Structure 1
Amino acid sequence: MTSQQLTSLARASKGVGLGGHQGDAPPRPRRRRRRGLVTLLVMVLPSVVLLVVINGYPLVFAAIQALTNGNLVQVGKFIGLQNFVAAVTLPGFWPAVRFTIIFTIVGVFGSWIIGLGLALLTKTRVHARGVIRTLLLLPWIVPIVVSSTSWNWLVATSTSPIPLLLKSLGFGNVLFLADPTLAQITVLAFKVWVSFPFMLLMMGSALAGVDENVYEAARVDGASRSQTFFRITLPLIARPTYISWILMVIFCINDFPIVYLLTGGGPIGSTNTLVVLAYQEVFSNFQTGPGVAIAFIMTIVAVIVSLVLFRQIRKADIE
C-alpha cells in the first residue's frame, strides 16, 4: 500500500473526502447559523419580554377586572359576564353607542372628504404651496387642549364670538354647548377640524404615487374630470384610503380628549361616547367592572371593523 493510499485512508477515517471536505460531518456554516439564531433570540428576548409586560399585563388585569366585582384598589370575586350585562343595561349605554357610531362615521368620512379635496387642490401648481400645506396641518399639530380651549371660547357662552355674530344676524340666543343637538354638531365639527390634516397627509402621499401618464392617457381618450376621479384616481388610491379609514376608526372610537375637553359628555349625556362613558363609570361612579367591560366591547368592535376593512385592502391589492 502506497503512502498516498495510507494518507487517503487516514483522511477517510476522520470523515474527510478526497476533495478535502468532510463527508458525514455537519458543515460549519449550519453551526454558525444556529449560533447566530441563538444570539439573535438572546438579544431580542428582553425586548419581547418588556413588550409583553407593558402591553400584556394591563390587558390581562383589565380582563380580570371585567370578570370580577372589584374596584380600583383590589380585585373582587369572580362574577362571570355580569359586568357586561350591567354595562349594556346602563341608562346611558345605548345613547353613547348611537353617538359613538355617528361620531366615528362623521369623523372618518368627513375628514376624508375634506382631506382628499384639499390634497387634490394642493397637488396642482398653486402659489406658496408649501406654506399652505403647513397652515392646513395646524389643527392637527396644535395640542388638543389648546384647540378645545379655543373652540370653547368661540361657542361656549352667549357672549362668545359666534353666538354674538348669530344673534346680530337675527338668529336669537344660540347656545351651542347647552342644546343637545347643537352640542353634538359642535363636537362633530371639532372632530373633523382636528382630523382632516391627517387625511390630507395620507391622501397627499397616495396621490403622489399615482403615475401622471395614467391621467395623460385618460385625457387622450376623452375622459371627463368626474370619470377620471371615480374610475382612475379612487381605484388607484384605494389601498391607502382603506388604511386611513382603519386608523381613523380606531382614533374615533378611542378619542377621549375631544369630547371630554369640549363638553364633558354633556349636556345631559348627549355627547357621551363609549370611551367617555367608560371613564365616567370607572373614575366618577367607581364601577370598575362595567367600565372595563365597556372598554372591551369597544375593542371588539374596533377589531371587527378593522378586519372588514383589511379584507377590502386585500381585494384592492388583487385588483
Structure 2
Amino acid sequence: MSATRRDPRTDAGGGRSVRRRQRWRAQLVAWAFIVPVALYLVFFYAYPLLRNLDLSFRDYSLASFITGNADWAGLDNYLAVLKNPTFVPAMLNTALFTFGSILVQFAAGLALAVFFFRKFPLSGLLRALFLVPWLLPLLVSASIWSWMLNSDSGIVNAVITAFGGPQINWLTSPQWALVSVLIANIWIGIPFNLVILYSGLQNISTDIYEAASLDGAGSWQTFWRITFPLLRPVSAITILLGLVYTLKVFDIIWIMTKGGPGDASTTLAIWSYRLGFGGGTPQLSPAAAVGNLLILIAFVFGLLYIRLQRKAEQS
C-alpha cells in the first residue's frame, strides 16, 4: 500500500487562509470594541465641543439658536467677556476656590492616609466612614451644608453663639459666601485624596521603612525623607486630577449660594450658567465663550496631568 503524499503548496495555502481569517476575526473584534467608544466620544464630546465653539464665534439669540441662522461675530464675544466687570471677580473666585480646595484637601488627605496606614483596631471601618462624603450625591451634600450654615437655624451658628461668638451670615454675606462653598467642597474632596494617597502608600516597600528605623530615623525624618518623596508621582496626579475637577464645580455653589450675593461666590462655571440660563434674556454666545475659557484652562491642566502620568510610568 502506498502512502498518500500531500502537496506542500496546498498546505501552505491553507495555512495562509487560516491565518488570514484569524487576522480578520481579530480586527473585527477590535473594531467591535472601538466603534462604540468612538461613537460615544463623537456624539457626547466632539459634537458638543464643536457646537459650543460655533456658539461662541457667532451672535446667537434664542430665535437664531432654534433656526440655526446667526451672524458671524469672530472674537467679539470673547472680548466682551474679558471686558465684562464680572470677569475679574469670577476669575479670582475660581482661582481661590480651586487652589484653596486643592491645598486643604491634599494636606488633609495626606495626613489621614499616613494616619490610617498605621494599622490599628477599627482602622478599616473608620477609613470607610471617611468615604461617605465622597459617595453621597452632590445635591445631598450641598443641601446638608446649606442647612448647617443657615444664618438663623444652622447648627454651625448655634455652636458659635453657644460659646459666645457672633452670628455669621455664611451664605448671604459677601465676606463669607465663598468661604462657605469652599468648606463644603473641601469636605467632599478629602476622601478622594485619602483613597489615592493611601493606595500610593501601599506601593512603598516596607523594607525601606525597616532600614530607616534601623538607622535611627524618627517619624518626621521618615515622612519627609522617604514617604513624601516616594509619593511625589501619586501626589502630582492627585493634585492635577483635583484641579481639573474643581475648576468645573457648579452644583455645590449653585445650590448653596447661586454665586451670590452679587458676584461674591461667582466662578467661571456659575457665570457661564447665569449668562445662558440664569433668567432674563439668554446670552448664549457669551455663555459659550466663558465655557470655552474654562475648557481651555482645564485642558492645560489635563495636558500637564498626561505628561506627569507618562513620567510616572517611565520611572
| TM class, shorter-length | 0.7 to 0.9
Pick closer, same or farther for the CA change 1:21–1:154 going to 2, 3 Å: closer
Q: Structure 2: any 5+ residue segments left out of the alignment? A: none
Deviation of 1:93 (Å) = 1.3
Q: Does structure 1 residue 291 correspond to structure 2 residue 287?
A: yes
Is structure 2 residue 24 aligned with structure 1 residue 28?
A: no
Greater displacement, 244-253 / 36-45: 36-45
The partner residue of 1:149 within 128, 143, 147 is: 143
Contact 2:241 2:305 (C-alpha < 8 Å) held by counterparts: no
Asked if the contact 2:147/2:153 (under 8 Å) is kept, the reply is no
Query: For 1:97-246, what aligned pairs fall within 5 Å after superposition?
Result: 97-246=91-240
How far residue 317 of structure 1 moved from its aligned partner, in angstroms, is 4.7
For residue 50 of structure 1, report the CA deviation from its aligned partner: 4.0
Answering whether residue 46 of structure 2 is matched by residue 56 of structure 1, we say yes
Amino acid corresponding to residue 302 of structure 1 in structure 2? A
Quickly say closer, same or farther: Cα 1:77–1:139, change in 2 above 3 A: same
Report the counterpart of residue 65 of structure 1 in structure 2: 55
Residue matched to 1:3 = none
Q: Give 1:222 shift.
A: 2.2
Give the residue type in structure 2 aligned to 1:290: P
**TM-score, normalization by structure 2:** 0.88
* Alignment-mate amino acid for residue 200 of structure 2: A
- Answer 1 or 2: higher relative contact order, Cα 8 Å, separation at least 6: 2
**Is 1:16 the counterpart of 2:9 in the alignment?**
yes
User: Separation in 2 of the partners of 1:259 and 1:41?
Assistant: 43
Q: 1:307 and 2:303 equivalent?
A: yes
Equivalent residues of 2:269, 2:291 under 8 A apart: yes
Distance in 2 separating the partners of 1:242 and 1:293? 30
Give the TM-score of the pair, scaled to structure 1: 0.87
Residue in 1 that maps onto 2:72: 78
Alignment of 1:269 with 2:263, yes or no, is yes
The question of whether the paired residues in 2 share the 8 Å contact of 1:238 and 1:313 is answered with no
Q: Percent identity?
A: 28
Q: Deviations over 1:118-160 (max 9, x none)?
A: 1111111222112211211111122222222222222222342
User: In 2, are the aligned partners of 1:116 and 1:199 still within 8 Å (CA)?
Assistant: yes
Question: Contact conserved, 2:249 with 2:269, CA < 8 A, in 1?
Answer: yes
CA distance in 1, matches of 2:182, 2:103: 11
Shift of 1:32: 2.8
Alignment check: 8 A CA contact 1:139 1:194 kept: yes
What secondary structure does 1:247 align onto?
A: helix
1:228 maps to amino acid: T
Does 2:28 align with 1:39? yes
8 Å Cα contact 2:197-2:234 kept in structure 1: yes
Q: Alignment length, in residue pairs?
A: 307
Structure 2 partner of 1:4:
none
Name the Cα RMSD after superposition: 2.6
The residue matched to 1:264 in structure 2 has which SS?
Answer: coil
